[in-house]
Structures are given as structure tokens and as C-alpha cells.
């Protein structure tokens, strides 16, 4: 599998771990995970420690999650973002979108 997405739930927090590549060929795999989120989730954490590659299409799916967070009223956090990934997020304005939606980049 080019992409493996795992989900762990703790109380009101859910951690989604992304392993592998996130591009046009794999982004559709994230959608079911977003649908599965409980309604009472307060925090969604994306763990990018094992992210191998992401491009603008992949980031599009993260942005979907951000939109969902606005709808359902939970916060999003990114953890274990590598330097390269951080640069890409920056260029594509992901942090700006996050700031606009939830007021902070956690």
C-alpha cells in the first residue's frame, strides 16, 4: 500500500497517523477516516512522522479536514512535521488557512 492511515481514539482526541505518500493516487483513502470521526471529538491530531511524500493534491485533503473542523467545531493539530514537509505546508499556505479557521497553529 502506498498509503496507510491509522486512527486512534483517546477520549475526546483522535490521532490520525499518515504513513507513506499522499498524492492524487491516495488522497481518497483519507475521506473514510474523516467520516468516521465522532461528533463529540474536540481535537484531531495529524501525525506526519511517517509521511514520505505530500504534494498540493495531498494537502487538499488536509484542507478538507480543516473545513470539517470548522463545521463540527474541533481543533486540528499537526505533530512530527519534518523540515521539508514544514516548508511545503508553508508555501502552500496551509498554516495560514489553519490560523484563519481556528485562530492558532497548535
Partner 1 sequence: MRMKHLNTYTAVLCSMGVTGFLYGLFQFDKFYTFIFAISLFVILILEILPVRLPSGDKYVSGSVGFLFLLVDGGFAYSAIASVIASYAYFAKGLRSWKVPLTPFLSTAGMYIGGLLSSLLIWEVTNSFPIILSVVLVAWTFEIVNIVLLEFIHKFVFGAKKIFTKIEEQLKETFIPVLISAIVIPKWYNPDGYIEFLYDMLYTLFFFLLIIFFSQQFFRQLEARKLTSKAFTNVLESRIALEKSGHGNRVGIICEILLDEWRYPKRKKQDLIQCAIVHDIGKSLLPSYIFRKRGALTISEEKEYNTHSEIGVELLTAIFPKNKITESILYHHEKWDGSGFPKGLKGEEIPLEARIIAICNELDHLFVKYNDNETVMELLEEKAGTLLDPKLVGVLTIETITNVREELSDLLEIPVYEKQEQEKNVKGQKVAKLSVHYEAKSHIGESLVITWENGVYYQADVLPFRVNLLDELVSMVKMRQSKISETIQEGGFYWEVHGYPMNTDKIFLFVHDMSSMIAYRERLETKILESYENVIHTLSDGKISFYAEKEKIEQSLGQLQDQMKITTTADIPKSRAFLDVYLKESNLELQPMKILLAVSEATTNLLKHATGGEIFIYRTIEKLQILISDKGSGIPLHEIPKTILVSGYSTKKSLGKGFQLMKGLSNGVHVHTSSKGTCILLDFLYKTEEESGKEKTIS
CB of 10 to partner 1, least distance (A): 31
The count of residues in the chain is: 106
Which of 41, 63, 68, 81 forms a contact with partner 1 (CB under 8 A)?
A: 63
What lies within 8 Å, CB to CB, of 105 at 6+ separation is: 95, 98, 99
Q: Mark residues 9-48: x for contact with partner 1 by CB under 8 A, - for none.
A: ------------x-xxxx----------------------
Which of these segments, 5-13, 33-41, 57-65, 98-106, binds partner 1 (CB under 8 A)?
57-65
Q: Which is nearer to partner 1, 41 or 66 (CB)?
A: 66
CB of 8 to partner 1, least distance (A): 26
Write out the chain in H/E/C secondary structure.
Answer: CCEEEEEEEECCEEEEEEEEEECCCCHHHHHHHHHHCCCCCCEEEEECCCEEEECHHHHHHHHHHHHHHHHHCCEEEEECCCHHHHHHHHHCCHHHHHHHHHCCCC
* Residues contributing to the site for partner 1 (CB under 8 A): 2, 21, 23-26, 53, 55-57, 59-60, 63, 84, 87-88, 91-93
Amino acid at each position: 500500500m502506498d498509503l496507510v492511515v491509522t486512527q486512534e481514539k483517546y477520549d475526546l482526541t483522535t490521532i490520525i497517523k499518515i504513513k507513506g505518500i499522499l498524492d492524487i493516487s491516495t488522497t481518497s483513502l483519507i475521506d473514510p477516516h474523516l467520516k468516521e470521526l465522532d461528533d463529540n471529538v474536540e481535537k484531531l491530531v495529524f501525525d506526519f512522522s511517517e509521511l514520505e511524500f505530500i504534494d498540493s493534491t495531498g494537502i487538499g485533503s488536509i484542507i478538507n479536514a480543516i473545513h470539517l473542523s470548522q463545521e463540527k467545531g474541533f481543533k486540528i493539530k499537526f505533530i512530527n512535521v519534518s523540515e521539508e514537509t514544514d516548508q511545503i505546508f508553508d508555501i502552500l499556505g496551509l498554516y495560514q488557512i489553519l490560523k484563519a479557521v481556528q485562530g492558532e497553529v497548535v
